[in-house]
């Protein structure tokens, strides 16, 4: 499973979202996820990947999340 | 006397913080709270560094006790204010309207105690992991910017999730609220609405009158459509705003503009028609104007009596 697939699986799991519609350019707004959902995702990512994300405010799309995880 | 680890942590007598209410929490109120044995907080709101410097100097002329500054993270001056609290040697910083991750290292390195206000477990864990001194779990009963979760359910969950001290905020206006907060696992409370009617609070008399007259159903949260709801007392302004939220002919920008400046009008002019009187649901529990020191003592003494009496339920 590559990083994109792992991130999509983590995002989808929380709200029973349909992974087939998720693309790198899909935004949190598209998914109806707010800032608290984003905070929840950041902590899940940090615990899953053993990383620290300090620029969560830059995360607008799934692609942004994947990039942050890969850079960390 | 009630004494918790928060008292040692912040060098205060009573485990009570005063909320960093925009336009309300100035040097006068913060100094009175600190002199009363709690932790007074200057709300830096959308103000610039010059304003903050004046307030900090004024506070220091009135008290030598510890105090804090609330950094409102949505402020256009947040970056400058974040640097200024270090330069000014502010002992405690609380934050609101976001997560202060990008400032935390600088503040902690400078020896500042950092207490973010948090609306969820994940945000609490996030700031705890980055070294926060304590967190303030604020439920949606509070005034001003609000989250969805209530103090009753948020506080114990955050206590379970982090190993740093937790304070409770939202809906706490008397000793009953404080005692309950301690039982939920908090080591202190933050109160805003009760201090709105402190003698030393400089808001317009109409503001205080409205808080004192408020009943249980007299607050409303508006602005959900914009993603950052705020709770205020029902007024011609807030009810009209609530209606506009459902009006699809009004753009988000227009709605945002409509709310701009309304809190200042309430605080400075007390204008019922144009002002937004931010207050928590516990406004209905606030009955009279008092000195800040008396409020602090009264809340702690009430809580102490209740907690001592609690053993009666145990056979």
Contact residues, chain B, for A45 at CB < 8 Å: none
Where are chain B's structural domains?
Answer: 5-202
Cross-chain Cβ contact B102/A54 below 8 Å? yes
A54·B123 Cβ contact <8 A: no
> Is residue B68 over pLDDT 90?
yes
In this prediction, residue A58 carries a pLDDT of 81
Number of residues that this document lists for chain A: 72
Q: Is the pLDDT of residue A55 over 90?
A: no
pLDDT of residue B143: 95
Q: What pLDDT shows up at residue B90?
A: 98
Under 8 Å between Cβ of A64 and A70: no
- Cα–Cα distances (Å) from B228 to B19, B74, B82, B161, in that order, read 18, 11, 22, 25
Give pLDDT, residue B161. Answer: 98
pLDDT of B260 reads 87
Q: How far apart are CA A4 and CA A66, in angstroms?
A: 6
Average pLDDT in the B141-170 region?
97
Distance from CA of A17 to the nearest CA of B (A): 20
Chain-chain contact of B126 with A36 (C-beta, under 8 angstroms): no
Would you call B110 an interface residue with chain A, using a CB distance cutoff of 8 Å? no
Closest alpha carbon to B58 in B26, B94, B20 = B26
Helix (H, G, I), strand (E, B) or coil at B210: helix
Q: Would the CB atoms of B122 and A36 count as touching at under 8 Å?
A: yes
Place of tokens 């699809």: B248
CB B132 within 8 A of CB B114: yes
What distance in Å separates the CA atoms of residue B236 and residue B124, rounded to the nearest whole number? 36
Q: Please check the confidence at residue B138 and state whether its pLDDT lies above 90.
A: yes
Binned at pLDDT 50, 70 and 90, residue A66 comes out as very high
Share of chain B above pLDDT 90, in %: 90
**Which residue in B101, B120, B129 is closest to A36 by CB distance?**
B120
Q: And the tokens for A6? A: 């792992």
Q: What are phi and psi of B302, to 5 degrees?
A: -60, -45
Whether A39 and B101 lie within 8 Å, measured CB to CB: no
Cα B109 to Cα B164: distance, rounded to the nearest angstrom: 18
Residue A71 has a pLDDT of 86
CA distance B63 to B35: 6
- Each as own residue / partner, the long-range contacts of residues A48-54 (CB below 8 Å, 24 or more positions apart, any chain) are A48/A6, A48/A10, A52/B129, A52/B130, A54/B101, A54/B102, A54/B130
CB contact under 8 A, A39 and B120: yes
pLDDT band for B259, please (50, 70, 90 cuts): confident
pLDDT, tens digit, 9 for 90 and up, residues B77-133: 999 999 999 999 999 999 998 889 999 999 999 999 999 999 999 999 999 999 999
Are the beta carbons of B227 and A34 separated by less than 8 Å? yes
Average pLDDT, stretch B261-288? 94
SS3 B274: coil
User: In the prediction, which pLDDT does B58 show?
Assistant: 98
Quote the minimal CA–CA distance from A15 to chain B in Å: 16
* Helix (H) or strand (E) segment spanning residue B20: none
Distance from CA of A65 to the nearest CA of B (A): 17
Q: What is the pLDDT of residue B53?
A: 97
Interface check B111 vs A, CB under 8 A: no
**What's the pLDDT band for B3 if we cut at 50, 70, 90?**
very high
Structural domains in chain A, sorted by start? 3-71 (1.10.1200.10)
How far is the C-alpha of B208 from the C-alpha of B195, rounded, in Å?
A: 10
Give CA angle at B210 (B206, B216), nearest 5°: 175
Output the pLDDT for position B284: 98
Q: What's the length of chain B? A: 315
Q: What integer is the mean pLDDT of B48-59? A: 96
Subunit contact A46:B123, Cβ cutoff 8 A: no
Q: Residue B124: CB partners within 8 Å, gap ≥ 6? A: B118, B135, B137, B158, B161, B162, B166
Q: CB distance B99–A52 less than 8 Å?
A: no
pTM: 0.95
Nearest Cα of chain A lies from the Cα of B126 at a distance, in angstroms, of 7
pLDDT for the residue numbered B144 = 92
How far does Cα B40 stand from its chain's mean position? 10
Contacting residues of B for A52, CB less than 8 Å apart: 129-130
Whether the pLDDT of residue A19 is over 90: the answer is: no
Interface residue B140 vs chain A (CB under 8 A): no
Cβ-based contacts of A35 with chain B (< 8 Å)? 98, 227
pLDDT category, B285, cuts 50, 70, 90? very high
B188 touches chain A (CB under 8 A): no
CATH classification (class only), B5-202:
alpha beta
Residue B139 has pLDDT above 90, yes or no: yes
**pLDDT tens digits for B12-27?**
999 999 999 999 999 9
What ipTM describes this predicted complex?
A: 0.91
d(CA B119, CA B98): 9
Task: Give how far B102 is from chain A: nearest CA, Å.
Answer: 7
B184-229: pLDDT as tens digits = 999 999 999 999 999 999 999 999 999 999 999 999 999 998 888 9
Q: Are B171 and B282 in contact (CB under 8 A)?
A: yes
Q: Which residue has the higher pLDDT, B56 or A17?
A: B56
Cα–Cα dist B240/B258, whole Å: 10
């Amino acid at each position: 499973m590559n990083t994109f697939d792992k991130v999509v699986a983590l995002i989808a799991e929380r709200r029973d979202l349909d992974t087939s519609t998720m693309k790198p350019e899909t935004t949190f707004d598209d998914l109806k996820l707010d800032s608290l959902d984003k905070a929840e995702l950041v902590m899940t990512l940090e615990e899953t990947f053993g990383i620290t994300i300090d620029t969560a405010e830059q995360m607008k799309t799934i692609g942004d999340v994947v990039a942050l995880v890969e850079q960390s | 006397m009630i004494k918790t680890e928060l008292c040692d942590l912040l060098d205060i007598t009573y485990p009570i913080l005063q909320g960093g209410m925009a336009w309300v929490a100035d040097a006068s109120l913060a100094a009175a709270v600190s002199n009363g044995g709690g932790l007074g907080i200057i709300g830096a709101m959308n103000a610039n560094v010059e304003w903050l410097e004046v307030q900090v100097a004024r506070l220091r002329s009135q008290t030598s006790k510890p105090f804090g500054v609330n950094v409102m993270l949505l402020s256009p001056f947040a970056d400058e204010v974040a640097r200024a609290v270090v330069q000014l040697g502010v002992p405690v910083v609380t934050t609101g309207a976001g997560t202060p991750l990008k400032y935390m290292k600088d503040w902690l390195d400078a020896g500042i105690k950092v207490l973010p206000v948090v609306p969820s477990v994940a945000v609490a864990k996030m700031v705890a992991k980055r070294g926060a001194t304590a967190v303030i779990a604020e439920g949606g009963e509070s005034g001003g910017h609000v989250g969805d979760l209530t103090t009753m359910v948020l506080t114990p969950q955050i206590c379970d999730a982090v190993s740093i001290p937790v304070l409770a905020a939202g809906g706490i206006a008397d000793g009953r609220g404080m005692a309950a907060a301690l039982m939920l696992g908090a080591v202190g409370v933050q109160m805003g609405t009760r201090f709105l009617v402190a003698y030393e609070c400089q808001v317009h008399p109409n503001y205080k009158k409205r808080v004192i007259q408020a009943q249980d159903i007299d607050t409303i949260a508006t602005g959900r459509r914009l993603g950052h709801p705020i709770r205020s007392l029902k007024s011609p302004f807030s009810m009209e705003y609530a209606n506009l939220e459902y009006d699809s002919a009004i753009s988000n920008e227009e709605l945002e503009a409509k709310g701009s400046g309304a809190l200042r009008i309430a605080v400075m002019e007390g204008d019922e028609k144009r002002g937004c009187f931010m207050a928590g649901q516990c406004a209905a529990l606030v009955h009279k104007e008092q000195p800040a020191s008396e409020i602090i003592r009264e809340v702690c003494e009430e809580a102490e009596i209740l907690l001592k009496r609690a053993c009666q339920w145990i056979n």
